[in-house]
Amino acid sequence: MSINLAAREGGGAPRAEARAPAPTRRQTWLDALRGVAVLAVLFEHLLDPLFPEVRTTVSPWFDFGQFGVMVFFLISGYVVPASLERRGSVAGFWINRLFRLYPLWILAAVVGTVFGVVQVYLALPGQLSDHPVTSSIAHLTMLQDLLGVVSVLNVFWTLSYEMAFYLLVTALFVAGRHRGGTAGTLVLAMAAVLVGGVLPAGALSRGLGGDAAVLIATAVLVLGLAAILGGDHRVRLCGAAAVAVLAVVLLGTNSRVGAWESLAIVATMFAGTALYRLDQGQLGRGVARWVIGLVPVVCVVAAFWFGPGWAMTEEKAMAFRWSWSAAVVAAWLTFVAGRLLRSYALPRFLVWLGLISYSVYLLHPLAVQTLRRLVGDPAPVPLAWRLAWFVALVVVVVACSALTFRLVERPAQRFGRRLARSATR
């Protein structure tokens, strides 16, 4: 990856933004929200092996996992564009992102693959074993969920939408539209959600063939980022257009869950960005609040209008609509509550859990798979024993996550920051 001086990478951004960022005070309220979100995701994945009663009675009305990931998406929207603008350097931003995400992701992917090969719970999906090269390439882009490739760990799917968001944010930054176009971007995103229901899921992979779609998308991604990082102004703009078009095409025509839901996720992240700009006084408070407030409304309307993007009975489809919509509304209420309480002292455990939440998020499926093999059918197991299993698993996951945060995440982040600083000098 070519790395140029920040003054060459900002596109239309002011030259003052190219300086290395000053240290900023960590926003603990966001960490506390991450802690809430990762606990919700963990609880969702423990329903089948430990609490089938909750799955039967509550899941048709509320999806804990969807709630958790929507909180994560709002947080990403709030912090990611700010991180890019604070650095003023596309190279610095991507270096930090790569060292933030990939080291632990590689560890989890390797262990997850081993679990699949030795069948700790489920065998490795046939698509991964039958097409190992293209499946590996798709995973390395982190866009596998948008490339028609099943994830080696179920939680990896959210990283595909994070990556698509990074590409769109980078393109807006290079084009100089990262601030002035916030409200317009939100309006376009909401319109895209409502149009997304008529777009066919997986059309790109079916039309080109799965392997071809992966290879073409990867080539566009690599060449587009290389142009942004290594070219003159016109080349950077071409690179920005390429990665933006790639993200939009994948979201609109090739998502696993359907275009409307994929675009609703991206609209939610851009709404998080708008909330950040509102807090920073970069966005008018009148119309902007109405535009931001419309995002969850549009998402819920789309859920009831279009429904799930795959075949299921009408009863299950209606349960999906209600549970998905309730999760989205709850995520917004939780984020707004955290934002209102940001000046107060928040529970230290939640703040600390949020700090290691990426480790918890990536590692817990491995523990859950192991638990499912140990417990088997939970129905005849007394509730007291299942609660004991729940406590034990949470303790093990948190302890392992604290260890990987200290030994993998933190050293990688420090190295990434040093490398990013050298790239902006």
**pLDDT by residue, tens only, the chain of 425 residues:** 333 433 333 344 433 334 444 445 568 999 999 999 999 999 999 999 999 999 999 999 999 999 999 999 999 999 999 889 888 889 999 999 999 999 999 999 999 888 877 765 566 666 676 778 998 999 999 999 999 888 989 999 999 999 999 999 999 999 887 666 677 788 888 888 888 877 877 788 888 888 899 999 999 999 999 999 987 889 999 999 999 999 999 999 898 888 899 999 999 999 999 999 888 887 776 667 788 889 999 999 999 888 775 556 777 888 888 999 999 999 999 999 999 999 888 999 999 999 999 999 999 999 998 898 888 888 888 999 999 999 999 999 999 999 999 999 999 999 999 988 887 66
Distance CA 162, CA 119 (A): 29
Residue 20: CB atoms within 10 A of its CB come to 16
Q: What is the pLDDT of residue 8?
A: 35
Query: Which residue do the tokens 């050298």 mark?
Result: 422
Q: Which two tokens stand for residue 403?
A: 């260890």
Q: What is the pLDDT of residue 20?
A: 42
Q: What is the pLDDT of residue 215?
A: 95
Q: Which two tokens stand for residue 7?
A: 């003054």
Quickly list H helices, 209-309: 210-230, 233-253, 259-279, 286-306
Q: Which two tokens stand for residue 272?
A: 């998080």
Phi, psi dihedrals of residue 180, rounded to the nearest 5°? -65, -25
Q: What is the pLDDT of residue 5?
A: 32
In the chain, domain spans: 6-423
Exposure b/e, 255-291, CB count within 10 A at least 16 = b: bbbbbbbbbbbbbbbbbbbbbbbbeeeebeeeebeeb
Q: What is the pLDDT of residue 23?
A: 43
Q: What is the pLDDT of residue 257?
A: 83
Q: What is the pLDDT of residue 181?
A: 67
Amino acid identity of residue 241, one-letter, is: A
**Helix 233-253 to helix 157-174 angle, to the nearest 10 degrees?**
150
Amino acid identity of residue 336, one-letter, is: V
Distance CA 246, CA 206 (A): 17
Q: What is the pLDDT of residue 46?
A: 95
DSSP-assigned states of every residue in 280-317: TT-S-SHHHHHHHHHHHHHHHHHHHHH--SS---HHHH
Distance CA 144, CA 303 (A): 24
Cα separation values, 180 from 188, 192, 357, Å:
14, 20, 32
Q: What is the pLDDT of residue 126?
A: 62
Exposure b/e, 333-353, CB count within 10 A at least 16 = b: ebbeebbeeeeeebeeebbbb
Handedness of CA 61, 66, 72, 74 (dihedral sign): negative
State the distance between the two ends of the chain, measured CA to CA, in whole angstroms: 17
Q: What is the pLDDT of residue 43?
A: 96
Q: What is the pLDDT of residue 119?
A: 64
pLDDT in tens, 303-330: 988 877 555 677 788 888 899 999 999 9
